Structure 1
């Protein structure tokens, strides 16, 4: 039996490399499926000197992707940014294959009328997937004493549940830009770019002082998940209806593509067991990033060292034992929402939500090398992509989950992976193709935004 909690829609692990246009279109389609790792972000608009008269950035592209479980899928992704309100984005996607299908979209950063600092985002996705995989089961049945809990640090990557089923979600969030620092006079920041590089004043980075530098954003998010697994003799499903309260301080020069400065995010999430939710849980998390610029070189317009640390803890998580010493988890944060590692943001060399437990710790380093050379800059029929630069990235990651928040537990027997990434700035949005390898698998992930 599976843990009856849903997980986010898994980003397809793509087979091989894909053409540039497919890469961008697939990434934009996933923009309607996932938010950035932190739920809050700086409210901003991006003005490109190359398109001074349009006021908007938009893309409409078909795409194709193939995975081992989903087969070949054909879809269409679309987005428009800066229409109606300069900081607002509208996007969506639809795709389908022999068995799988999906459709979703949303509105991001709609400034509520007659306010200057309140921004509303609403988005969601409906999908059906063949052979969904979940490293779960420890909350439904007692796991024998001599068997690791599914998804724990010592668990086998063969401990998973797999079946066709639905994975649907929707969420909304209200963000408030505090009247301090870079947003003291206005609730959003305007960035001016030439060739994808910041030419206007940085929004932060010179000093760590929220009252003088950078942007501080508070967020209230309500999120919902529903997932089903259709086994031959049974169907399992589950739901999440939770809220998150968080605070972001982004003290970087350019929040879309930071080259120096830092940012921190702190949040608490809680599900009170509302509606179909079967358990009550609480989860705390903290994230910090730091960026160092090494300037230009003969072939690079930017050379950036980016560091990130993330940790999480679920105080409600507890074990129940039977007479034989078997364990079952109660009041645990869902494996997709709590102390989880693996997938397109953290521990990319492992499958989506491969590890989860009561506590987690994670660290990564990326070297981001923004190329001066843009091979499609003068290709007239690709101008509509608004592609300003390509970026080569190498990265390493380390992480651990455990059943207690102690150094002995979380700093021993850690998991590691490493990889490379090709990224591009298109229409003011970073899109990426990450390829990472670990001792368990090699994965490719297509996604919007830097992982941090």
Structure 2
């Protein structure tokens, strides 16, 4: 029997929903730093030679979207970028349907007064969704012997919770641009573009040396998640109140759309069991990306091979056994925050957070082909999109979660998927439509920014 309140169940932040909603509302709007898997970003501004001295970007537009679970929703989004500070964005959205509704907003990359290197972001979202799904257990029962843990590598697609409920989240993030490399003299870098291609000096990629090349950013984030499941005879809910400390070294030529160079991100997250968060957990992750440029061709302005590796481990994760040999996980990071695979960043051919465990490993390769031909370049009524190029992408992915961080565990029986993507650079921001297929499902994802 499920207990009614504050169990350590699925905490799905739905972080993709806010940028997606504002993206639709603003017809592929300008976010100064779109959400990515890593919490730290290079602080930058983009100047297009096609629109010099245009001042702040302002958009206010209605939108409509429909999903199988949420039905038809109507909303309104608004944003202003570069008005008070060149790198800062303020945005928000509100929408509603028959059952679902959501409201959110935020401030991204506000440079603190009397500082040159400290940037503050505050963003949050509150929503109610029909038929939320979580590949997790209720938190108070033991999984019988011989049955895989929900969300584990060998688990069934039928092992999930599903019900109407709320999903709310809010983040407070402070970033510091270190006074070395490309940000030695100033905390923000400026990119000059023509046709969406970098014409100013690359900020990194020629040598790997944080003191001379690239941008290094430290981040301290406090993040909060709340999610509820309203079953016919019961209600489950859970919360996260955690902090993350991370360090990014981005040694690429153009952080928004890298064509050569590399970047690395290392972070540790911890929840001490504050407030409604009853579990105490720790999670460590490392990510590395490498980019190779093959130059132009007859039809492409860029041909890029992009490689990415990510791994994570939760040292606090432990199994508890009952007298019959049943298992229950304690002190584990919620599946959306820890060693998790599936969704619009990693293993896109699987549902969001389909797999999660104590440890994880993931690798992907993308071939990014930036077209010279832009079919809307001369369409006057679409000029407001600031759309510079379209990009065709093919990708493959492999990943695995496991109960131990060993080669025998993580390099056998891996999951695979593959897919294609259509991407565009609009007002200096990459937006993408990814379609990926696996042996479990075929998914389409609309999101801001490259996945890495």
- Which interval holds the TM-score relative to the shorter structure? over 0.9
Quick one: distance in 2 between partners of 1:78 and 1:391?
26
User: What are the equivalent positions in structure 2 for 1:345-384 lying under 5 Å apart?
Assistant: 345-384=345-384
Q: How does 1:65-214 map to 2 (within 5 A)?
A: 65-137=65-137, 139-214=139-214
Residue 409 of structure 1 pairs with residue 409 of structure 2: yes
SS of residue paired to 2:172: strand
What SS does the aligned partner of 2:383 have? Answer: helix
The superposition leaves residues 395-433 of structure 1 with CA deviations (integer Å, 9 ceiling, x where unpaired) of 100000000000000000000000111111111111111
User: Which residues of structure 2 form unaligned runs of 5+?
Assistant: none
Does residue 4 (structure 1) correspond to residue 12 (structure 2)? The answer is: no
Whole-Å separation in 2 of the counterparts to 1:250 and 1:10: 23
Maintained 8 Å contact 2:287/2:308 = yes
8 Å CA contact 2:362–2:399 kept in 1: the answer is yes
What are the residue-to-residue correspondences of 1:32-71 with 2, within 5 Å?
35-71=35-71
Shift in CA distance, 65/44, structure 1 to aligned 2, threshold 3 Å: same
Greater alpha carbon shift after TM alignment, 93-102 vs 312-321? 93-102
Structure 2 CA distance for aligned equivalents of residues 373 and 319 of structure 1: 55
In structure 2, do the counterparts of structure 1 residues 411 and 405 end up closer, same or farther at CA, with 3 Å as the change threshold? same
Q: Which moved more, 1:302-311 or 1:136-145?
A: 136-145
Q: May I ask how many residue pairs the two structures share in their alignment?
A: 444
Partner residue, 1:18 = none
Report the Cα distance in structure 2 between the residues aligned to 1:145 and 1:10, rounded to whole angstroms.
Answer: 35
Aligned counterpart, 2:274 = 274
Distance 2:66 2:208 in 1: 45
In the TM superposition, residue 77 of structure 1 has moved relative to its aligned partner by 2.6
Secondary structure at the counterpart of residue 409 of structure 2? helix
Asked if 2 retains the 8 angstrom alpha-carbon contact of 1:196 and 1:388, the reply is: yes
Task: Give, in whole Å, the separation in 1 of the partners of 2:340 and 2:102.
Answer: 25
| Cα RMSD, aligned residues only | 1.9
- Residues 173-212 of structure 1, C-alpha deviations (whole Å, 9 max, x = no match): 0000000000000001000111111110100000000000
| 3-state SS of paired residue (1:382) | helix
Q: Hey, what's the Cα distance between the residues in 1 that align with 2:111 and 2:347?
A: 34
User: Which residue in 1 is equivalent to 2:315?
Assistant: 315
Task: Name the CA shift for 1:415/1:24 in 2 (closer, same or farther; >3 Å).
Answer: farther
Q: Deviation per CA, 1:295-340, whole angstroms, max 9, x where unpaired?
A: 1111111111000000000000000000000000000001000000
CA shift for structure 1 position 24: 7.6
Mapped to 2, the partners of 1:402 and 1:122 lie a distance apart of 34
- Tell me how far apart the structure 1 counterparts of residues 28 and 270 of structure 2 sit (CA, whole Å): 30
Matches of 1:22 and 1:122 in 2, distance apart?
18
Partner of 1:338: 338
- Which runs of 5 or more structure 1 residues have no equivalent in the other structure? 13-20
Residues in 2 aligned to 1:33 and 1:82: alpha-carbon distance in whole angstroms: 12
Cα distance between partner residues in 2 of 1:26 and 1:231 = 37
Q: Does 2:230 correspond to 1:230?
A: yes
State the distance in 2 between where 1:391 and 1:78 align: 26
TM-score (norm 2): 0.95
Q: Distance in 2 between matches of 1:251 and 1:326?
A: 48
